[in-house]
Structure 1
């Protein structure tokens, strides 16, 4: 039986969660992955061309292909039809999809502060952030960072490295990739790089469960 968690509970070792049937997950983690960019490339089609055929904006399709947003079912069906692919070939659930958010006895969603080593409810987390508490931690300089500073550092990092990466990849790939697609891909890579350094202070506490697939219906 899982031990009950509550607001303010001190847990020194994060391994406590896995040992007791919980898990820690990044806030904002995308549980749906897509392979739209790969499918378009197989067709030798740019994302701009795909957007035009689907009837959506280039920015929308680019954001989907870059894993920034999860499309609604209408766009999913349009993409599958246009690319002539089964939906399951374009979209899949990540292994971390089969979790639900852990709550306390009052049904308040729970989070874990990685550095204070305490459990908190969403209300406590929001209050702390609104009062100027930190949301990120710089693992290189060992200091806390507020979200506005993190966003500023992210923009600066992208400005500093995008053109350099673009030139390197363009020389290697030639004209195989469209300029906008290449820059979008680079931006995604740079975000991943900087998030290795700046980690979220708060993690979502979740509980894994085993998915159930119903048997095929009999005619």
Structure 2
């Protein structure tokens, strides 16, 4: 019995190693299932978390990236951008290059989401630059540049959009509610007491700029 003990220990060690690697295989199976389009409609809502405030770790939030690429100097959770822009930036319900599309909280995306418009394709389609939307290679907080968003609102007023979702390499099935677009042009009559933040004093912006330089 004593001589069999080392072999038993080795067998138990091998089982433990297999158990540790099992989640990786399960995650890969989920990715394949998503790519085939076999998942239910609500899985996209479960996967997209949008973004909150200005904190960078543990992954890149949508807010600092949208601020960096658009130049719109608003901080705080994404769902507050629309109201914060009032009296400071022009707003509307039509996309323009450089504008920020502001999403309402929806499902598990409790903090809303913001994304910069990089191109107008047609009256129903734009390309977006945003962060922390699709999980890519099992990681959140990823940057996605020039990905499609399509207006699916009944009145073509951009109040609902479907957005490119990387795990399925196609538009997601969810119609995400949109508050509107914030345009980079500042309103001359900035309310008194409003603090205008210079991008030079934005350390997170500097980190994002460094990441973009590496990507190029």
Query: Structure 1-normalised TM-score?
Result: 0.22
Structure with greater helix percent: 1
Structure with greater strand percent: 2
Larger relative contact order, structure 1 or 2 (CA cutoff 8 Å, min sep 6): 1
